[in-house]
Every structure is written in structure tokens, then in C-alpha cells.
Amino acid sequence: MKKNCIVSAIVFLVFSVQAKMITKEYDYKIDTTTFKGFVAYDDAVKGKRPGVLVAHDWWGLSEFAKTEAKRLAQLGYVAFAVDMYGNGQSTTDFATAAKLAGAVRGTPRMRSRIVAGFDALLRQENVDPQRVAAIGFCFGGTGVLELAYSGADVKGVVSFHGGLFSLKPEEAAHVKAKFLILHGADDPTMPADTISQFQESLRKAGVDWQMAYYGNAVHGFCNPASGSDKSKGVAYDSLAQRRSWQYMQNFLQEILAGK
């Protein structure tokens, strides 16, 4: 009986050490505006480790983005959920989200804000700056493409049901990242010719890219808050979410395994 108690205590101790999740807000500025990122990591992992930037969807820095950051932390990464709107804003109102996203997407703010968030990730003392990647959802999927196109020293970017746009020829030589695009096969937000032009721009640039389609999945398939009505063009799909997350894990392990 005593031996069993000792074994149980050891198991409990090991689990407790492994399960020590640290989360905190991290403020940074762009000009006079304060941005509030969210950091997550497992304190049981010692020394510097790979970092992953998380770019939120158009709802803002919500619990969904923070949950994805914590899931990455459980995998051993330092995750930094970037704030693209300022002051950590998020909303559940469609019109407000459209206004917030519209003020950033398609403007120089999109690139400057994702780059600023990336720089904030690099300032985390437990991040190995030679092993960093970025993932983004919807609006954030567009954001990580902007990061890669900027020439940032990022190993790879992952877009989950993101808005896709072509790499400009004059920026091609500066791209260092590898690309993984995870897309709903029935996503109505991305016309086929837009996707073709995007792929061709990467092909011409000679970058390393992959794209996976998930059958029967529409836009927003990773977020349970997207609902279940696929006829609206936006819906959660647990199978596509699970498969795409596993694909992302494989990709991150490949590009961040060593220096």
C-alpha cells in the first residue's frame, strides 16, 4: 500500500510540473496606440524554445485566439496572440467586427501591426529568435501572409481559412518563410481565380508552399462560434478543425525542429 502511495505521489508531482501554464498580457505600442498581446507558455520547459505568433480572426483578440495560443503552449511553444485592433479589442457584433477589420485590412496598418506583434514575440526572453513561426485564422490568415511578404525572419506561416492575396514580384526575393495554407473546399469567400493567382505568385517566386483543402468545409471552420449552418458560408467543422490542427503541428515540427 505504501509503495502504491509513493508511486501515485510521483505521478501527481510530474503531472503538476508539466501542467504549469503561464499566461499574461503584454503591452506594446505603435506610435501612441497601446496594443495588448497575450502570451502563453509552459513554465516546465526550461531555456529558450520556439515561438509562434497567433493572429486572430476579425472578431479581435477574443477567447478563441487566446485558447489557440494556450494549445500551442501545451505543445511546448511560446505563443503570442497579437492584437491587431489596439487595446485588446474584441467583439461579437458583426457590424463592429466589419468596421474594425475594414480599418486595417487592405491598408498599410495590416502589415505594420502584424510586424509589430512579431517583434513583440521576439522580445519574449524565453523565445529562440532563430525558431519562430506564425499562424492566423480568417482575417489573421491574411495577416500572416503580410508578415511573410514583408521579409520578416519567420520560418513559416500557417493560414487557416484565411483571405489569400498574391505575392508581389518586387517582394518575392525578400520572402524567407515557408507557407502552409489550410482551406475549406467549399469556402465561398475566396473565388477560384483568386486562389489560382495566389498559388501562381508563390510558384513564380520559388517559395516552399503547401495547400490542403478540407471537403465539405466552409469559411471559419476552426472556430466553434461560427455555428453549424454551412448554408451561410461560415460554419464550424470539427473534422476539418482537427485535421488542420494536426497538419499544422507536423509543419511546425518540421520547420522549428532545429536551428
Give the tens place of pLDDT for each residue, 235-246.
999 999 999 999
Per-residue HEC secondary structure of the chain comes to CHHHHHHHHHHHHHHHHHCCEEEEEEEEEECCEEEEEEEEEECCCCCCEEEEEEECCCCECCHHHHHHHHHHHHCCCEEEEECCCCCCCECCCHHHHHHHHHCCCCCHHHHHHHHHHHHHHHCCCCEEEEEEEEEEECHHHHHHHHHHHCCCCCCEEEEECCCCCCCCHHHHHHCCCEEEEEEECCCCCCCHHHHHHHHHHHHHHCCCEEEEEECCCCECCCCHHHCCCHHHCECCCHHHHHHHHHHHHHHHHHHHCCC
Please tell me whether the overall predicted TM-score, pTM, comes out greater than 0.85 for this model: yes
* pLDDT more than 90, % of the chain: 90
d(CA 156, CA 134): 7
pLDDT at 258: 66
- Which stretch of 13-22, 93-102, 241-250 has the lowest confidence by average pLDDT? 13-22
Q: Look over the chain and give the mean of its residue pLDDT values, rounded to a whole number.
A: 93
pLDDT at 10: 41
DSSP β-bridge partners for residue 33: 30
Sketch the domain layout of the chain as residue ranges. 21-256
Q: What CATH number labels 21-256?
A: 3.40.50.1820
Which of 240, 100, 93, 238 lies closest to 161 in space, CA to CA?
A: 240
